[in-house]
């Protein structure tokens, strides 16, 4: 099959991640006080965010005077994150980097944190502009959304019913990507014989995602493909396809961790998935927070951050900074990356 995969300019993928178990760095500076950076994720138990945490620890080790506080609610809710933000304000952290479960609901708590002198940024899944200094996106939103739909088109030979199995209904990042997937299927003439029949939500819970996948198989007997732009959802959908003996009948793509998707890509459940390096995302977020706390950067449009091995990261309009290009994994290259994240 001829696969015209989207831009594959690889990020410089660094194998050297630091696997510290929730670790607090013990190396104190001569000044004594460490910069305390909280990494607040959508939910705990998600391998994507554990890789983000490893990248944050790597940056903390390099910087020397940083303590990483890794936190998240047990399920991906805005309420859980608001409670944690309030606790972080009370414990006077220096910075919070948030992957938001809801772009608007978190704004009041995030504003309160900023008023208390805490540097707040979002990464991965954004908070609305009023609630953060800047947002670090892993890659260009339009590129991710459109290229996911194009990849699906290639896998289903540009025809038939397709569905999307997303994370939570309020997730900023997935919702933005889905908007562009919808635009692509409407606007790209090659997609004229494809039909988007459903968007369902697995809430970044493996169990719920698995059940939603089974629901799609049942409700749409002619379904040809599923896009799952969440690492949790795509792995659960792959398992559901395999368990139901639907390999080859239902095509699957999405955004997946090579470590979780290797077996399914190698055995043909999914021919191709995409993602960026979550370790780099945590690493870059930590450098950005550190430089804001140290007053080296303002985070305003045009500002450029120096972020260790990631080089420089520039802030664009609306406080949006972009880390790099996504990468596509197929059976030919996934093993190499599965060892990293
Ligand atoms: C899940 C989360 C995260 C997203 C990845 C692709 O782990 O929803 O926010 O960026 O998938």
Q: Are strands 251-254 and 273-275 parallel, antiparallel or unpaired?
A: unpaired
CA 48 to centroid of ligand 1, rounded, Å:
7
**Whose Cα sits closest to atom 5 in ligand 1?**
230
- Residue 105 counted as domain residue: yes
Q: State residue 90's pLDDT score.
A: 98
| Pair (194, 119) in one structural domain | no
Angle between the 78-90 and 107-115 helix axes, to the nearest 10 degrees?
10
| Pair (182, 263) in one structural domain | yes
Tens-digit pLDDT string for the chain (341 aa): 333 332 222 332 222 232 233 334 444 444 579 999 999 999 999 999 999 999 999 999 999 999 999 999 999 999 999 999 999 999 999 999 999 999 999 999 999 999 999 999 999 999 999 999 999 999 999 999 999 999 999 999 999 999 999 999 999 999 999 999 999 999 999 999 999 999 999 999 999 999 999 999 999 999 999 999 999 999 999 999 999 999 999 999 999 999 999 999 999 999 999 999 999 999 999 999 999 999 999 999 999 999 999 999 999 999 999 988 899 999 999 999 999 99
Tokens of 204: 């970044």
Q: What is the secondary structure of 56-117 as a DSSP string?
A: HHHHHHHHSSEEEEEE--SSS-HHHHHHHHHHHHHTT-SEEEE--S-TTTTHHHHHHHHHTT
Q: Are strands 304-306 and 312-314 parallel, antiparallel or unpaired?
A: antiparallel
Taking the CA of residue 231 as reference, the ligand 1 atom at the shortest distance is 11
| Pair (119, 77) in one structural domain | yes
| Pair (223, 113) in one structural domain | no
| Pair (161, 129) in one structural domain | no
CATH number of the domain enclosing 47: 3.40.50.2300
| Pair (161, 184) in one structural domain | yes
| Pair (169, 251) in one structural domain | yes
| Pair (226, 103) in one structural domain | no
- Residue 153 counted as domain residue: yes
- Residue 8 counted as domain residue: no
Taking the CA of residue 229 as reference, the ligand 1 atom at the shortest distance is 6
| Pair (105, 67) in one structural domain | yes
Q: State residue 325's pLDDT score.
A: 86
- Residue 40 counted as domain residue: yes
- Residue 1 counted as domain residue: no
| Pair (194, 257) in one structural domain | yes
Q: State residue 68's pLDDT score.
A: 98
Q: State residue 140's pLDDT score.
A: 94
CA 22 to centroid of ligand 1, rounded, Å:
20
How far is Cα 61 from Cα 196, in angstroms, rounded to an integer? Answer: 46
Helices (H), the chain: 47-63, 78-90, 107-115, 141-155, 172-187, 206-219, 231-243, 258-266, 278-293, 334-338
Number of Cβ within a 10 Å radius of residue 4: 8
Number of domains in the chain: 2
| Pair (271, 284) in one structural domain | no
| Pair (145, 201) in one structural domain | yes
Residue of 138, 145, 205, 231 to mutate, ligand 1, most atoms within 8 A of C-beta: 231
Question: Domain containing 307: what range?
Answer: 35-139+278-324
CA 205 to centroid of ligand 1, rounded, Å:
11
Cβ < 6 A, ligand 1 pocket: 42, 46, 48, 99, 124-125, 167, 173, 204, 230-232, 255
Q: State residue 32's pLDDT score.
A: 72
- Residue 20 counted as domain residue: no
Q: State residue 198's pLDDT score.
A: 98
- Residue 225 counted as domain residue: yes
Residue 323's φ and ψ, nearest 5 degrees, are: -80, -45
CA 188 to centroid of ligand 1, rounded, Å:
26
Q: State residue 31's pLDDT score.
A: 56
- Residue 43 counted as domain residue: yes
The kind and range of the H/E element at 137 are strand 135-137
**Whose Cα sits closest to atom 4 in ligand 1?**
230
**Whose Cα sits closest to atom 10 in ligand 1?**
124
């Amino acid at each position: 099959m001829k696969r015209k995969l989207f831009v594959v300019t690889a990020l410089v993928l660094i194998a050297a991640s630091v696997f510290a178990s929730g670790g607090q760095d013990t190396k104190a500076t001569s000044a004594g006080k460490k910069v305390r950076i909280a990494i607040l994720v959508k939910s705990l138990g998600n391998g994507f965010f554990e890789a983000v945490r490893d990248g944050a620890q790597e940056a903390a080790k390099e910087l020397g005077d940083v303590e990483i506080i890794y936190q998240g609610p047990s399920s991906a809710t805005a309420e859980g994150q608001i409670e944690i933000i309030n606790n972080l304000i009370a414990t006077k952290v220096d910075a919070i980097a948030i992957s938001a479960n809801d772009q608007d609901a978190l704004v009041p708590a995030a504003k309160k944190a900023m008023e208390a002198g805490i540097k707040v940024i979002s990464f991965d899944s954004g908070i609305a502009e009023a609630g953060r200094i800047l947002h670090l996106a892993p890659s260009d939103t339009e590129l991710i959304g459109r290229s996911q739909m194009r990849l699906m088109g290639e896998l289903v030979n540009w025809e038939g019913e397709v569905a999307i199995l997303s994370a939570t209904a309020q997730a900023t990042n997935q919702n933005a990507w889905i908007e562009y997937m919808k635009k692509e299927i409407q606007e790209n003439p090659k997609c004229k014989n494809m039909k988007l029949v459903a968007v369902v939500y697995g809430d970044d819970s493996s169990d719920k995602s698995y059940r939603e996948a089974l629901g799609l198989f049942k409700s749409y007997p002619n379904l040809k493909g599923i896009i799952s732009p969440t690492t949790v959802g795509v792995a659960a959908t792959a398992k559901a396809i395999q368990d139901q003996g639907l390999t080859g009948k239902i095509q699957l793509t999405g955004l997946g961790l090579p470590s979780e998707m290797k077996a399914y890509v190698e055995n043909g459940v999914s021919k191709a998935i995409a993602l960026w390096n979550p370790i780099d995302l945590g690493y870059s977020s930590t450098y950005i927070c550190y430089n804001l706390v140290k007053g080296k950067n303002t985070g305003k449009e045009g500002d450029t951050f120096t972020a260790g091995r990631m080089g420089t990261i520039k802030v664009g309009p609306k406080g949006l900074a972009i880390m790099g290009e996504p990468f596509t994994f197929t059976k030919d290259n996934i093993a190499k990356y599965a060892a990293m994240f």
